[in-house]
Amino acid sequence: MSTTSTKRTVIVAAVDDTPAADEVLRTTLAAARGFDASEVHFINVAEPPIVGELQLVRLGTLVDEGRELLARIADRAREEYAGRVEGHLAVDLAPTGILQLATDLEADLIVVGTHNKRRLQRLVLGSVARAVVDRAHCAVLVARAPDYPTSNAPAIEPACHRCVEVQRASGGARLWCEEHSRRSLTPHLHYRVAQPFAVGSGLLRPTGSGL
């Protein structure tokens, strides 16, 4: 007797009316395509203002805006994804609303956005993403568009431009430039000494491998 699996993969994605929502949408659909029977649940959270007549009017506006946003996001998602797509609106603190929906649906994955460091955004602030990561009972994926530095940063060195050129030219088949892929008895080592403790952090690349 054959049986049909009823396993569902539930993805909860938090969206707001900011540019970050585009990256959340893209990342969410990419994740959904990687699992069988995935269903995507977008949530927008209208955070309640301080109690008062004007504040209550503002909350009503936020709710209306949230409904319109969810309709737009869901329509865009359905154009690119054939699986189940739903929209949910919550009136709550942003992390609590997101986590409550994830709990109610027994989500397998939560997708949240994070702000551009040069611009604050109302819902998908870094603090919201951090709160969700800290309190979630499932995996959390933080969606962010690639924005690698072109100059030295205090903690992370910029990519070797020759390695990047090789990766682009080969479509990822090759990862390292000639200098960084030379065979030797010593693995390729990046290190930086943290003064004054002489403790370094490094990345080891086995020589001659694709790692």
Query: Is residue 120 packed enough to be buried (19+ CB in 10 Å), middle (13-18) or exposed (0-12)?
Result: exposed
pLDDT tens digits, one per residue of 67-93: 999 999 999 999 999 999 999 999 999
CA distance to 17, 48, 58, 61, 191, per residue, from 54 (Å):
22, 12, 6, 11, 57
CB 14, CB 115: distance < 8 Å: no
Query: Is residue 168 packed enough to be buried (19+ CB in 10 Å), middle (13-18) or exposed (0-12)?
Result: exposed
Comparison of pLDDT for 145 and 207, the residue scoring more? 145
pLDDT tens digits, one per residue of 85-135: 999 999 999 999 999 999 999 999 999 988 655 444 444 446 788 899 999
Compute the mean pLDDT over every residue in the chain, rounded to the nearest whole number.
78
Measuring CA to CA, which residue among 137, 93, 131 is closest to residue 112? 131
- Flag whether the pTM goes above 0.75: no
Query: CA-CA distance, 109 to 27, in Å (whole number)?
Result: 12
Query: CA-CA distance, 134 to 42, in Å (whole number)?
Result: 20
**Angle of the 53-80 helix axis to the 20-33 helix axis, nearest 10:** 40
